[in-house]
Structure 1
Amino acid sequence: MEQVRQARNVAVFIFEQVEPLDFAGPFEVFIAGSNRGQDFKVYTVAEKDAPIQAVGGLSINPAYTIANCPKPDILVIPGGWGSRQEMNNETITSWVREVSNDAEIILSVCTGALIAAKSKLLDGLKVTTNRLAIHELRDLVPASTEIVEEARYVDNGKIVLSAGVSAGMDAALYVVGKLLGEDRARKAANIMEYDWRRD
């Protein structure tokens, strides 16, 4: 008899001046790929229990704070202008580091890579980010880290990083396929009527 696996917790971190599609794109992908909530439980998490103002003035109410959120199996770290401030927020980088110890996958989108770098998760890995922020990432990582400038996403096993904005959806679909099979990822892309780019 097949054992039923508990749904994986997917924590989507949000912060002031987060890029909307950086977090909402992967959020939608994991919902679409969840088999009606059976395989992924997707939620937002922020440092504090207060509305977040994303880029463009979009207001989001986080479901949880870093102090009370369910233990993430997958952590999505989006980018946006606010990542430059959050990467210097020791409370956040410590939390990301702590979560990464037990998480199955950390998915960085766009300049979320800056937060991942300052959380000391990228040493010796292949990494990417939004092409307009490659120079910022280069300044943060050690020489052992290889920056891949033209990739939509790169997979280091536990740590997956994507380029800018819509590339986060491609990377999230890749993660769905990695965990649940490519058919599930293709089905999620079809549900969203999204043209999945795998390169």
Structure 2
Amino acid sequence: MSWTKTFIESLKEWDGCTQGKHLTLNDLAFYLGLTIGGKTKIENIDKALENLEGRILYLVTKESIIEKFLIESLISYTTEYLASFNNNRGYSIIRDKDLVNHFEQEGIPVPESLSKGVERLESLSDVLTSEYSLAEWERIIATNFSRVNRRLLFDKDFKKSFKAHQKFYESLSEEDKNKTVRELLREKRESKLP
């Protein structure tokens, strides 16, 4: 399995464990897709996971972003995002209550979604649900991206990239084959200087 497939399967596994009680898979995939320049429209949220996977594959194949780097970044970002629901809870409560006060002072009806949002943020069950969601994600990542599994993924990448390196090596002159990549790059830079 590739880095991308392992990540997508991890998201699906997380969704199976949390069953969308805190955050749905499509909501999370939509958010992650936006962070890497995805173009999923809100009305297509049911395809958010497919679009996220497509965007990852596009960045890896067309933009030459290293898959390992991109997936490790997404894992880290997902973890931070899930943790933020509790880490930023106090600020969110204060901000939303200030907004409710502003509506009330202006004589404007408080939107129901805002009132419910404050109630949810203050609820112990929401705190526990958020913690469970994060704990499940961390457990899944610890398993699916364990040291051994990362090594296997890295070895698979190395074998794939070896062919590209071999082509590059064969394209060099006999003299250049004895130089390091650093020396080749320096020579290339120096040849462009006036």
TM range (shorter): under 0.3
Structure number having the greater helix percentage:
2
TM-score by length of 1: 0.25
The answer to which structure, 1 or 2, has the higher relative contact order (CA under 8 A, 6+ apart) is 2
TM-score by length of 2: 0.25
Is the radius of gyration larger for structure 1 or structure 2?
Answer: 2
